[in-house]
């Protein structure tokens, strides 16, 4: 016999659930009238976090997330561990008496991450807040009033571009394939508390300034061209001329191509983006090019292009990057204002004419062996305490590349330093009336 009690119970449960869903919808609607909940992507969330930390007061309550990393310190050039609070930890901010909550995560359909910003309706103009956050980010990324000099390696990963900040003074061919040992810039939105944000960066001791480089006349002329170009963005725009510049640096290893690029970037206050062409396919390069365009004014370096292309042909069979993709980016539909494009090579015969024509990497700069004046400039900088060794180095090093001249001068200087230390130790031993062992050579150890 059919038991109607079960039927009645089911109807009762169904009715209660319908009422609950209705009440929940009503409550949700009422809450939405009072509380606004918007979704932000990860990049915009970091900008808003940075903006709120500058403009309003943050509550110390709530869960917080702390990170650490090894960063290059501007004053000493040393790599040190530093702690900072990540922007993705969220938090409660107070705009006057009105709370703003930023946090929460959700996965998007494209694989990205979304965050929420919640506030009382009528207390925040979201378009004004987002506009202020974006303007602050742009002012930091593009302003000439902040230190923008850094070096970033762009390497392909098959389906995406990996961005690695390069330790100061490291050439791209020597750059590790894994994560770098130290970085020169905090992530956007990060709040350091073990040091000041301005204390992190490329050290002034990490590389030679332009005035300390031994440059040939071609290089000196190119430096002057770069200086004029850097200050004429408005003039280029008023004449409807693309604000860009290109050069091809040719020279044997150790001739100073990397040092020249780094010194130009430091003087012009521009970030350097080094393309690891051998690891990229067409999509990787386009994505990396887009990153550089977004950071302009900037320097884009196609380093040792002869390792990737011989003329228009790829050097290896496994390279997925086509030469035409480079040309289209440099002066095609993807060309950008504010880019100083530099191509470096050890083999000038490997450069295709289309790559070095006007409008692309057009200015030729050859860096080879140094003349006596170039050698004297390096020797004077290193051997300033031993004037008698300067001319000796000039006579010995004529025609050598800058790296070889520098190494020879360092060897001469280090010998004198060790001799001075040994003599000091011996004199101290004589005054003490004892016999001391010979001082250890610090260079040899």
pLDDT band at 168 (very low <50, low <70, confident <90, very high): very low
Give backbone dihedrals phi and psi of 134, rounded to 5 degrees, phi first: -65, -40
Distance CA 187, CA 87 (A): 9
Question: What pLDDT, on the 0 to 100 scale, is given for residue 142?
Answer: 61
Q: Would you give the DSSP letter of residue 348?
A: G
* Span 204-230, average pLDDT: 79
Q: Which residues on adjacent β-strands are paired with residue 245?
A: 340
**Which element (helix H / strand E) includes 230?**
helix 217-230
Lowest pLDDT segment from 232-241, 276-285, 425-434: 425-434
Average pLDDT over residues 349-370: 88
18-27, 144-153, 434-443: range with highest mean pLDDT? 18-27
**Mean pLDDT across the chain, nearest whole number?**
79
CATH superfamily, domain at 207-366: P-loop containing nucleotide triphosphate hydrolases (3.40.50.300)
Residues 6 or more apart whose Cβ sits within 8 Å of residue 390: 376, 379, 380, 383
Highest mean predicted confidence (pLDDT) among 12-16, 214-218, 298-302: 298-302
Confidence of residue 176 (pLDDT cuts 50, 70, 90): very low
Kindly give the interhelix angle for 372-382 and 402-432, rounded to the nearest 10 degrees: 30
**Peptide bond just before 297 cis, omega within 30 deg:** yes
pLDDT of 426 above 70: no
The pTM of this model reads 0.67
In the predicted model, is pLDDT for residue 427 greater than 80? no
Per-residue pLDDT averaged across 238-258, rounded? 89
pLDDT tens digits for range 67-117: 888 888 877 778 889 898 876 667 888 888 889 988 876 655 555 677 889
Whole-angstrom Cα distance, residue 292 to residue 183?
18
pLDDT score, position 80: 86
State residue 172's pLDDT score: 39
Give pLDDT, residue 109. Answer: 54
Whether residue 332 has pLDDT greater than 80: no
* CATH fold for domain 1-65+87-147: TATA-Binding Protein (3.30.310)
Give Cα separations from 2 to 8, 11, 12, 92 (angstroms).
12, 15, 18, 58
Ramachandran region, residue 193 (left: φ > 0; alpha: ψ -120 to 50; beta: rest): alpha
Find the mean pLDDT for residues 156-180.
44
Residue 375's H or E segment, with its range, is helix 372-382
Tell me if 297 sits within 8 A of 340, measured CB to CB: yes
Angle (deg, nearest 10), helices 387-397 and 372-382: 140
Tell which wins on pLDDT, 205 or 246. 246
User: Is the pLDDT reported for residue 252 higher than 90?
Assistant: no
What's the order of all strands across the beta sheet hosting 151-156?
161-165, 151-156, 272-276, 298-302, 339-345, 244-250, 363-366
pLDDT at 3: 60
pLDDT > 90 fraction of the chain, expressed in percent and rounded? 17
């Amino acid at each position: 016999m059919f038991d109607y009690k079960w039927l009645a119970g089911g109807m009762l449960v169904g009715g209660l659930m319908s009422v609950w869903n209705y009440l929940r919808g009503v409550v949700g609607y009422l809450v939405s009238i009072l509380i606004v909940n918007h979704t932000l992507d990860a990049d915009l969330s970091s900008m808003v976090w940075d903006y709120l930390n500058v403009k309003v007061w943050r509550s110390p309550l709530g869960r917080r997330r702390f990170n650490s990393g090894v960063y290059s310190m501007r004053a000493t050039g040393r790599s040190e561990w530093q702690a900072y609070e990540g922007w993705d930890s969220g938090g409660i901010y107070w705009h006057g008496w009105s709370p703003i909550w930023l946090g929460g995560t959700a996965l998007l359909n494209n694989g990205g991450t979304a965050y929420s910003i919640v506030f009382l309706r009528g207390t925040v103009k979201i378009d004004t807040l987002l506009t202020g956050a974006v303007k602050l980010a742009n002012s930091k990324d593009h302003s000439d009033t902040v230190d923008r000099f850094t070096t970033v390696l762009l390497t392909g990963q098959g389906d995406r571009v990996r961005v690695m900040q390069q330790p100061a003074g490291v050439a791209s061919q020597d750059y590790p394939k894994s994560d770098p040992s130290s970085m020169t810039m905090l992530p956007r939105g990060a709040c350091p508390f073990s040091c000041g944000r301005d204390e992190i960066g490329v050290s002034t001791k990490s590389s030679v300034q332009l005035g300390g480089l031994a440059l040939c006349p071609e290089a000196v002329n190119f430096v002057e061209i770069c200086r004029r170009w850097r200050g004429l963005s408005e003039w280029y725009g008023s004449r409807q001329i693309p604000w860009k510049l290109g050069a091809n640096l040719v020279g044997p290893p150790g001739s100073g191509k990397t040092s020249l690029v780094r010194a130009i970037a430091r003087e012009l206050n521009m970030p350097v983006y080094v393309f690891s062409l051998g690891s990229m396919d067409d999509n990787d390069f386009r994505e990396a090019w887009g990153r550089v365009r977004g950071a302009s004014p900037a320097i884009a370096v196609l380093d040792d292009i002869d390792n990737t292309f011989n003329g228009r042909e790829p050097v290896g069979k496994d390279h997925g990057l086509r030469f035409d993709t480079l040309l289209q980016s440099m002066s095609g539909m993807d060309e950008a204002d504010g880019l100083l494009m530099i191509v470096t090579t050890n083999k000038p015969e490997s450069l295709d004419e289309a790559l070095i024509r006007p409008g692309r990497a057009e200015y030729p700069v050859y860096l080879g062996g140094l003349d006596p004046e170039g050698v004297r400039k390096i020797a004077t900088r290193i051997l300033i305490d031993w004037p008698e060794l300067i001319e000796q180095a000039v006579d010995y090093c004529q025609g050598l590349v800058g790296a070889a001249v520098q190494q020879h001068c360092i060897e001469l200087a280090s010998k004198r330093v060790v001799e001075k230390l040994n003599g000091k130790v011996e004199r101290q031993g004589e005054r003490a009336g004892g016999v001391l062992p010979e001082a250890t050579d610090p260079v040899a150890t």
